């Protein structure tokens, strides 16, 4: 007996995505737009999920900060949060909190990658570029790489 293939509803697809990790409304709109069959159907489904607190922008911010702050600086995390379409004031609060631990986090990342002070200018440049590409502030990077000589 042949079974009919059931297509998951937009709510079902959204819940499956949300079960894997927190998503912002903008992310879900982008991922689910191709599956919308009638105009307004997606907005209605997402409104329902927001009302039931399955989609929560503050949880998305916390999730991204918790996952990414161990490896990335505040600038890079801010960029990721902005790409997710999250509220600017929530992003600003998260970035401000991260800046307080920026030096310690940069030092941990630097130790894991390099662990030794730069031997010459070329190595110094390599270490600086690595930390800057991870989104750490230039002043923090200078302190970490300069302080590496005293470790």
Average the pLDDT over 115-140 and give the result: 95
Please give the Cα distance from 120 to 107 (Å, whole number).
19
pLDDT digit string, tens, across residues 26-73: 999 999 999 999 999 999 999 999 999 999 999 999 999 999 999 999
Q: Is 74 exposed, middle or buried (0-12, 13-18, 19+ CB in 10 A)?
A: buried
Report pLDDT digits (tens) over 70-87. 999 999 999 999 999 999
Residue ranges of the chain that CATH labels 1.10.10: 102-150
Say whether domain 102-150 belongs to CATH 1.10.10: yes
pLDDT-derived band at 148 (thresholds 50, 70, 90) equals: low
Two tokens at 29?
Answer: 């709109």
Q: What is the Cβ-side half-sphere exposure of residue 75, based on CA atoms within 13 angstroms?
A: 12
């Amino acid at each position: 007996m042949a079974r009919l293939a059931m297509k998951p509803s937009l709510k079902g697809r959204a819940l499956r995505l949300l079960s894997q990790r927190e998503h912002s409304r903008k992310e879900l709109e982008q991922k689910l737009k191709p599956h919308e069959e009638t105009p307004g159907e997606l907005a209605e489904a997402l409104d329902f999920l927001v009302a039931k607190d399955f989609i929560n922008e503050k949880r998305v911010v916390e999730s991204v900060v918790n996952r990414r702050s161990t490896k990335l600086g505040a600038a890079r995390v801010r960029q990721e949060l902005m790409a997710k379409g999250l509220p600017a004031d929530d992003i600003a609060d998260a970035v401000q909190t991260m800046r307080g631990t920026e030096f310690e986090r940069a030092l941990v990342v630097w130790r894991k990658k390099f662990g030794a002070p730069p031997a010459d200018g070329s190595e110094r440049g390599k270490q600086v570029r690595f930390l800057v590409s991870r989104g750490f502030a230039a002043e923090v990077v200078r302190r970490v790489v300069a302080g590496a000589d005293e470790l």
